[in-house]
Homo-oligomer: A and B are copies of this chain.
Amino acid sequence: MKAPIHLAILGATGAVGVEVLKTLEKRNFPVRKLTLLASERSAGKSMKFKGESLKVLQVKSSSFEGVDIAIFSAGATRSREFAPHAQKAGAVVVDNSSAFRMDPSVPLVVPEVNGADVANHHGIIANPNCSAAIMVVPLWPLHQRAGIRRIVVSTYQAASGAGARAMAELESQARDVLAGKPAKKEVFPHQIAFNVFSHNTKVAENGYNEEENKVIEETRKMFHDPRLAICPTCIRVPIFRAHSESVVIETERKLSADEARKILSSAPGVRVVDDRAANYFPMPIEASGQDEVFVGRIREDPSTPNGLAMFISGDQLLKGAALNAVQIAEILIKSHGS
Residues of A at the B interface (CB closer than 8 Å) are 150-152, 154, 156, 170-171, 174-175, 178, 189-191, 194-198, 200-203, 206-209, 216, 229-231, 233, 235, 237-240, 244, 246, 248, 257, 276-277, 279, 281, 283-285, 296-304, 307, 309, 311
A288 to chain B, nearest CB (A): 10
CB distance from A300 to the nearest CB of B (A): 7
A-B contact pairs, 27 of them (CB 8 A): A150-B304, A154-B246, A156-B235, A170-B194, A190-B283, A194-B240, A195-B239, A195-B283, A196-B237, A196-B284, A198-B279, A198-B281, A198-B296, A198-B311, A203-B279, A207-B257, A207-B299, A207-B300, A208-B299, A229-B302, A229-B303, A231-B309, A233-B248, A233-B297, A233-B311, A235-B244, A237-B237
How many whole Å from A110's CB to the nearest CB in chain B?
21
User: Given A152-B152, A279-B203, A299-B207, A304 and B198 touching (CB < 8 A)?
Assistant: no
The residue among A190, A196, A209 with the most chain B CB atoms within 10 A of its own CB is A196
Q: Are B194 and A285 in contact (CB under 8 A)?
A: yes
Q: Which of B151, B285, B297, B307 contacts A195 (CB 8 A)?
A: B285
Nearest chain B CB to A160 CB, angstrom units: 12
Copy tally for this chain in the complex stands at 2
**In the complex, chain B residues whose CB is within 8 Å of the CB of A248:** 152, 231, 233
Q: Report the nearest B residue to A149, measured CB to CB.
A: B303
Across the interface, which residues of B come within 8 angstroms of A284, CB to CB? 195-196
How far, in angstroms, from A89 to B240 measured CA to CA in the complex?
Answer: 54
Known A-B contacts A156-B196, A197-B281; the reply to A151 vs B238 at CB < 8 A is no
Report which residue of A178, A233, A281 has the largest number of chain B beta carbons within 10 angstroms of its beta carbon: A233
